[in-house]
Amino acid sequence: MTMHLQSDLHDELRTIDGEVIFSEMTETPTWHALLPPSTNTGAPTIVLVKSSVDKPMEVYSLRANYALVQLSNHGASITPHPTKLTPLALLSQDQGVEISAIFISPSASPPGPQRTVVLVHAGPYERLTNSFMPDYGYIPYLTSLGFSVLRLNYCGSCARGDMFARFPYVHGPVTCDYDDVIAVTSHAVNSGLADKDNLVVAGWSLGGYLAYLACVRNSLHGYGWGFKGAICGAGVADGDSMIIDSDIPVSQAAMVGVLPWRSGDKGDTRNRRESAIWERKKAAEDGRMPRALILHGEKDDRVPVSQGRSFWRGCEDLGAECEMVGYPDEGHVFRKRENSRDLSERIGRFCESYT
């Protein structure tokens, strides 16, 4: 019997006795083990699918000696843009547990700190590792433009055990995960990898939520750097209205605070404590807000488009620089190739304009 494990940044295949058959810093979304058909005994042939930052998903086999053999070549028409991967690890400031990240830079980059996009994943029970297509595939596009990308796995991510995954629910919504974004970014700056004067934060769904918070809390951490831009994809800007309009209000309330109709107290502001629109005015008055790009599907039932519009309207009113793009035929997850391409190109133009 063979089983699949996520172990921090690595995906592994192991026998039931614990022997590691395959271990690589990659994502293997599917695999299958086959015994020889004639006897059903002997070493199995393992087939798996994996990718890397600069190579799309391909099918591979692991033979009797566990040598990896590529079977498909779906990405033959894609011109690779070689990258250099630097794994990072540090302790979460609040929780004292290890969090991991990958700094991805174009192989042709000159030495020294790089223009960097800090990519915050959705979830929170998700993970970013050495894989090709998270968030609509714009990461390979950004590296082709010469940007580096910092992928991080904050408290609440998968692949580090049950306790790690439960942090957002045990310690409160949007607490340790936001602090981890700031800590990992600062670590990359202090390590000489990321250029502190050329940073953009980007995310989708919960990642977009954290990007909104990074926007209104910009530079408050006191580490001597701030984001030049924030890309907020399908993110939450206001907890109360999001819970009321979302298709999963109970689950959303578990992340944001409380179901408004269960509070019974007009002075209950739990849903506002981590809602960006309530921090936007002070950020605009202080001149701390970076330029923002809001991307949202107009048919989004999970995080309704009103979330993006509320933040955009506030920016317009307060004189903060903000652009919003709504996609009329998309929901929370984009399905159409032309929209994903438009999204990637807009992100590329935004990063080139503001770094």
Name the CATH topology of 83-354: Rossmann fold (3.40.50)
Higher pLDDT, 347 or 108: 347
Element (H, E) at 117: strand 114-120
In the predicted structure, residue 265 carries a pLDDT above the cut 80: yes
Order of strands across the sheet with 83-91? Answer: 83-91, 98-106, 148-153, 114-120, 194-204, 229-233, 291-297, 322-327
Q: Per residue in 135-188, pLDDT tens?
A: 666 888 899 999 999 999 988 888 888 888 887 777 766 667 889 999 999 999
Q: Per residue in 16-72, pLDDT tens?
A: 777 888 888 998 888 887 766 665 556 677 899 998 888 889 999 887 667 888 999
In the predicted structure, residue 90 carries a pLDDT above the cut 60: yes
**Please, what is the end-to-end C-alpha distance for the chain in angstroms?**
51
- pTM score of the predicted model: 0.90
